[in-house]
Amino acid sequence: TQLLEQSPQFLSIQEGENLTVYCNSSSVFSSLQWYRQEPGEGPVLLVTVVTGGEVKKLKRLTFQFGDARKDSSLHITAAQPGDTGLYLCAGAGGNDMRFGAGTRLTVKP
């Protein structure tokens, strides 16, 4: 079983602050995805990282895949209330996709 551990579990910050959330595993993944989920809805794909050391940017969001393809981070610059949500990482290691428990982010105006 490939376990994905996300930290922190909860994060509450003020608008304009920067933050980083983490996704760690003891397993190697062929790819890793980040999703954002709002209450009452399904997760929405943000990005896929495939290559060890890869960095991808999506506006104010920066995603990094660890060199060993076991971990990843998501950095948000100048967070806004619209960034509030549950951020999930998921790893592909076979036929199924496994998700972490998520980081619940609240950005206060």
Partner 1 sequence: DTGVSQDPRHKITKRGQNVTFRCDPISEHNRLYWYRQTLGQGPEFLTYFQNEAQLEKSRLLSDRFSAERPKGSFSTLEIQRTEQGDSAMYLCASSSGLAPGELFFGEGSRLTVL
Rule CB under 8 A: which residues touch partner 1?
A: 6, 30-31, 33, 35, 40-45, 48, 88, 90, 92, 94-102, 104
Residue number, 44 or 78, with CB nearest to partner 1: 44
77 by DSSP, 3-state: which?
A: coil
Rg (CA), the chain: 13
Q: Give the residue among 106, 88, 103 at the shortest CA–CA distance from 43.
A: 88
CB of 95 to partner 1, least distance (A): 4
Residue number, 18 or 38, with CB nearest to partner 1: 38
CB of 49 to partner 1, least distance (A): 10
CB of 78 to partner 1, least distance (A): 26
Residue number, 33 or 83, with CB nearest to partner 1: 33
The string of DSSP letters for 6-69 reads EE-SEEEEETT--EEEEEE-SS--SEEEEEEE-TTS--EEEEEE-STT-EEEETTEEEEE-TTS
